[in-house]
Chain A
């Protein structure tokens, strides 16, 4: 029976095509920002009109690591910190596939930090969506490399004294070609940023400041998820092209958001093909992937 011929109204979720509905409800807490991130990612795919067979998601471990399990495209839930190397392999085997890494700050910037900086340096054609909730949430609120100074974490019960990374500064200084930061409140801008990042050849990074009301907020007595969204509303300052050295996030102070970097640099595969083309001349057949 065709859709037109059905008399009963069909109830369906507008994102159904992109979600593994047989895995819903998801595991995330009420007021977590991850639902927004998944929706923004799905909207970006729709906006770009990418075929759903032409894009893959790789996640590491943690709350954000679970994103791979809910998107109905080729999706890989790997080991802690190793989403970027896994994605690098996937991309190099099939560079035509749009490969997107969606993982958390702890996963990508701590245990996976070295992979992050080298993938940026080599300009591997990946999009990294780094959901930053300032804490290791799934494992119980331990201090992360992004926890603001003085913020409380289960392993920093008297407040954090370790200098955190600023993700846009790190990405910029390692050579990423596209760097943006938005919060889970900036839904439309986030969709645009993700779409731009996916469309951009090379290593692109979108940091999403995301509320964790269960651990970060509770430990720091910042109220509910809604209170955090209000905080973003009142304290996020849009400053496109801001100097990435000035993007440090201080505890409960202003957060600078925007598109900071959009530059052109040959990707890893382009560099390889350019170089070997020079060295071997016509004998060299440019690499376009191992999958026919």
Chain B
């Protein structure tokens, strides 16, 4: 999968890929949850790139975020990953499906200018090139090789620099715009619990228990997990005493949080090797440990 994820990034093909994460490595835990592919999603294909990933925590969100994922992949012409886990993947809950006309759909960025002026990889103002379809009469070429604006291979460091910079910047510089974060009682908090996917549900009872005991604890739930919301996390680290990261792995997103916290806040990982969700007690203890 990873090689062709790279192809999708290089060719700028709007794509949605669903990863229902199980415990690993290897065949690991086929019917049990984990969130240990989060870094693979970000770095699994070779080469430098940015992409988008979202993490639903319920059947309703699986529906809603799937649409979000399609829309983001169309807008930025980038593969977008839906990072589910086995628990959400096999979960049954009530969902509300809106009327089709209520669903917002980002249209494909289809080119309709003069045919002879079309260049398949000439970036538009938003750094995203216009698309055409096979059979539309443009007779274009595209390749997984480093290419110029015509889509023709260009094997040199200059073209590589220009292309890779654009592919990354079209996402990186829009990270704040892309980021969807659900923040709860973060203002004035002493501790903030950071989580995504199934872990964000599991963290809530522990947060509520600590609050009931008077701990000023907020929560930040990452709906979009990539690109990493650096600016918001950096700000947050300056405002609070501790950031507690809850994820079903042995520390992946945690290191991103630690990196941007840069010593401004204490960072605490609540790890879990997968196979089940966190014990609420472990999260509670981490919150207590982080509180001043």
Interface residues of A (CB under 8 A from B): 20, 22-23, 52-54, 56, 68-69, 72-80, 82, 90, 94, 96-97, 291
Contact = CB atoms under 8 A, between A and B. Distances in A.
Given A23-B152, A79-B7, A68 B135 contact: no
> Size range of the interface on B?
20 to 34
Contacts of B141: 20, 68-69, 74-77
Nearest to B137: A53
Pick the 9 closest A-B CB pairs, nearest first. A77-B143, A74-B134, A53-B137, A97-B135, A56-B134, A75-B141, A79-B7, A73-B139, A79-B3
Nearest to B10: A79
Contacts of B140: 74-75
B252 interface: no
Nearest to A54: B135
B144 interface: yes
A187 B196 CA distance: 61
B4 interface: yes
Given A53-B137, A69-B152, A97-B134, 20 more contacts: A22-B152, A52-B139, A53-B135, A53-B139, A54-B135, A68-B143, A72-B139, A74-B135, A74-B138, A74-B139, A74-B140, A76-B134, A76-B142, A76-B143, A77-B144, A78-B144, A79-B7, A94-B135, A291-B133, A291-B135
Interface of A is mostly: loop
Interface of B: 3-4, 6-7, 133-145, 150, 152-153
A68 B144 CA distance: 12
A77 B137 CA distance: 18
Contact of A90 (B134, B139, B150): B134
Contacts of B152: 20, 22-23, 69
B4 A79 contact: yes
Contacts of A72: 139
Contacts of B7: 78-79, 82
Residue of B3, B137, B143 with most chain A CB atoms under a 10 A cut-off = B143
B258 to A, nearest CB: 35
A103 to B, nearest CB: 14
B151 to A, nearest CB: 9
A77 B145 contact: yes
Nearest to B150: A22
Given A69-B152, A79-B7, A56 B142 contact: no
Nearest to B132: A74
Contacts of A56: 134-135
A198 to B, nearest CB: 15
Contacts of A20: 141, 152
